[in-house]
Amino acid sequence: MEDTAESEDLPADGTVQRAVQSSRLGRLGRWLADAVRHSYLYRWLTAEPDPDVIVIDLRETWTVGPFIRLLDATIDRLAPAVKDSRVAGAVQKTTTITRQQPAVVAGLALLVAGVILGLASVAAGTLGTTRLALTAILLGGGALATRERRSWSDLRETRPVALLIAALEPPEPPEEDTPRDDPDEDE
């Protein structure tokens, strides 16, 4: 999928590729890729599922079951009161706005975090290069994110979000009527 116009501009001997690989930026990129690939989180997310995993319904246990039943009873009694409250209305309105334009909401949160970090660093007298760069990244990322006006349902159809969801969503539970290979059944 290489463009012929771009390949004509590059030297045939690969000097540009060698220069990029030997540069600091190239070494940093390789180091970051290696760090991510060797991280616990990456290995955990890409590991094969364990076939011996047992799922336990905590509602049926003696230790956690009573707490879950108490929590269910409390929620059942409080739900009608919360339904008509101002807090629930505000949460519902915020949820609706977030679903309509999630990137804008995330961008505003990044902008607020950047402003708070910058002002706190200036007030404390600790605005160094790192904090200034982090403040600039937060403000720049927030400003860019506020330009994205697509809804959550539209964003879910984009490839990056679909890949992220596929990577983070839990696997489907096994079917109940699937026969298992049990060595003790033959006896």
Q: Mind listing the pLDDT tens digit for each residue in 95-118?
A: 898 889 999 999 999 999 999 999
> What is the C-alpha to C-alpha distance for residues 36 and 183, in angstroms, rounded to an integer?
40
* Domain count for the chain: 2
89 and 106: one domain? no
**pTM attached to this predicted model:** 0.47
SS3 at position 10 = coil
Q: pLDDT by residue (tens digit) across 159-169?
A: 988 888 888 88
Which runs of consecutive H residues, i.e. helices, occur in the chain?
4-9, 15-22, 24-37, 40-46, 65-83, 86-100, 102-124, 129-145, 152-156, 159-168
Q: Evaluate whether residue 3 is within a structural domain.
A: no
117 and 96: one domain? no
149 and 128: one domain? yes
